[in-house]
Amino acid sequence: MKLLKDKIHQDGLVLSGNVLKVDSFLNHQVDPFLMKKIGEEFVRRFSDEKITKILTLESSGISPALMAALELEIPLVFARKRKSLTLTDDLYTAEVYSYTKQETNTISVSKNWIHSGEKVLIIDDFLANGQAALGLCSIVQQAEAEIVGIGIVIEKSFQQGRNLLMDQNLRVESLARIKSLENGKVQFIEEENN
């Protein structure tokens, strides 16, 4: 997606440890116009599917996922990373190791919000080692719902996440695929449809 790649080139900061900082439009301040276009692009790419719900992970997945949900006129559910006083029993949970924070979180979704037979599109901001996406997949599977696919805003293709998901025959659509962050420079994989 050219608009997104231009924005990453313009605003993205490469930090040590192969981390890309995009706080100006995705991870802290949010660019709603870009998020709207991102939502539309996810909907275009999965237009052959009948999606009934979108699932993401708080907090940075929410803005792109919400825009896709709005476009599809379906609900968005976000998995929580922290225990909530109002979220007690009846949870689907998964353990997720965070690459950037170097800690393990138990993510959870109330059983009220994903049902057996639903067709769920998973959306997240980044795909690195795939742990967040696999945790979200596990939650959909626990609910006996169907995973339509995984929509990612920024994929770090030099890490193993995409392969782990493809090994499970899951469809992955990433709007910007990064080949390398070496020497502080962002290099993308060039693809026909973006």
- SS3 label, residue 70: helix
Does residue 153 touch ligand 5GP according to CB under 6 A? Answer: no
Q: Which residue has the tokens 């390398």?
A: 180
Number of residues interacting with ligand 5GP: please give it, by CB under 6 A. Answer: 21
Burial (CB count within 10 angstroms: exposed 0-12, middle 13-18, buried 19+), residue 90: exposed
Among 52, 56, 60, 105, binds ligand 5GP (CB under 6 A): 60
Binding of residue 100 to ligand 5GP (CB under 6 A):
yes
148, 46 contact by CB (below 8 A): yes
Closest distance to ligand 5GP from the beta carbon of 23 (Å): 8
126 binds ligand 5GP (CB under 6 A): yes
- 105, 111 Cβ separation under 8 angstroms: no
Please select the residue that binds ligand 5GP; options are 27, 93, 138, 180, rule is CB under 6 A.
Answer: 27
Does residue 131 belong to the site contacting ligand 5GP (CB under 6 A)? yes
Distance (Å, rounded) from C-alpha 105 to C-alpha 98? Answer: 7
Strand partners, 53: 120
Contact residues for ligand 5GP, defined by CB under 6 A = 19-22, 27, 60, 98-100, 124-133, 156, 161
